[in-house]
Chain A
Amino acid sequence: MQSWAVLQFPGSNSDHDAFRAASRVPNVRVDMLWHDQPIEKSKYDVIMIPGGFSFGDYLRAGAIAKLSPAMGSLLEAVEAGAHVIGICNGFQILLESRLLPGILQVNKGLKFISRMEECEVKTEAFPWFAKEDIGRKFRFPIAHRFGNYQVKDLDRSEMQPALVYQNNPNGSFQSLAGIYRKLGKGSLFGLMPHPERVSHSDQPAHDGIDLWLQASKRLAA
């Protein structure tokens, strides 16, 4: 049995989508973790930091959430083997925490964008993408105003440009939709698209299902 967790902050709004998506993966037990407690080291295989508006996005998106006890203990959990996926606001929190490099600025067109985007896998990113996934295209929804990812230089020895948009919707550097970092025994994957919102077979789009299933299989192997 694998243990997955979803972090919750005041203002998270994709936490239940993430919980339901992970709950449907066979042999996965999912805990909801409130931000005010440190995360138990070595307990979780996957930690999901969901989308939303943690702490109202006050100051900057993710700036206040980074100070929570849960985030303060995240690095240790990752080094011990947890694989973190930070989605949308979760990605913003990882950037504010400096666990991933770069910043998310307001979208190039200044507007909030909510639509489906085709994203292509560019690199291997255990457990999310294997070598044979490179070139694979997923259709994921995006819903953000601050999704314009900018970074001076992505140090390829540490960071992988794991996922790119086919049609850069927000002005991101090199069309990046998600970046991946291997760290200790675990990893960090930050992305703006929302796979957890397309993770039910009764939805017209459900590309997220396979992402969770394959990750779980690779972790079990």
Chain B
Amino acid sequence: MKTFKLSIRIRFKEGILDPEAEAILSALNRLEFSNIKSVACDRVFRLELEADDANQAIALGRKAAHDLLANLVMEDFEVELAS
């Protein structure tokens, strides 16, 4: 078993309204950032886990995201091995 570090990024699916991101966008636009056209607030989980190899680590990360970390009705996720 080796230790791996994973980064799991959760983001709203296309078309899901995110009022928080909209509020941040309008605040940015009120400052000198009128050229910023969109904002998305993603969420990143950083995990350390033990696995036989990188593929198994990623598979475990995907299962954790699927079962708990993301709500698949409204969110998508990406799992990456952290360097």
A interface residues with partner B (beta carbon < 8 Å): 59-60, 63, 67, 96, 101-103, 105-110, 148, 150, 171
Query: Would you call B1 an interface residue if the criterion is a C-beta within 8 Å of the partner chain's C-beta atoms?
Result: no
Known A-B contacts: A59-B69, A148-B19. Give 15 more (CB < 8 A): A59-B68, A63-B71, A67-B68, A96-B71, A101-B73, A102-B73, A105-B17, A105-B18, A106-B19, A106-B20, A110-B20, A150-B16, A150-B17, A150-B74, A171-B17
Question: What is the predominant secondary structure among interface residues of chain A facing chain B?
Answer: loop
Question: What is the predominant secondary structure among interface residues of chain B facing chain A?
Answer: loop
Q: Taking the nearest CB of chain A, how far is it from the CB of B75, in angstroms?
A: 9
Which residue from chain A places its CB closest to the CB of B68 in the assembled complex? A63
Interface pair B19/A110, CB less than 8 Å apart = yes
Which residue from chain A places its CB closest to the CB of B17 in the assembled complex? A105
**Which residues of A are found within 8 Å of B23, using beta-carbon distances?**
110
CA distance A106 to B23 in the complex (A): 12
CA distance A103 to B72 in the complex (A): 10
**Which residues of B are found within 8 Å of A107, using beta-carbon distances?**
19
Interface pair A105/B73, CB less than 8 Å apart = no
Q: Taking the nearest CB of chain B, how far is it from the CB of A107, in angstroms?
A: 8
CA distance A148 to B18 in the complex (A): 11
The B30-83 residues at the A interface (CB cut-off 8 A) are 68-69, 71, 73-74
Q: Taking the nearest CB of chain A, how far is it from the CB of B24, in angstroms?
A: 10
A-B complex: 8 closest residue pairs judged by Cβ atoms: A103-B74, A103-B73, A110-B19, A106-B19, A110-B23, A60-B71, A108-B19, A106-B20
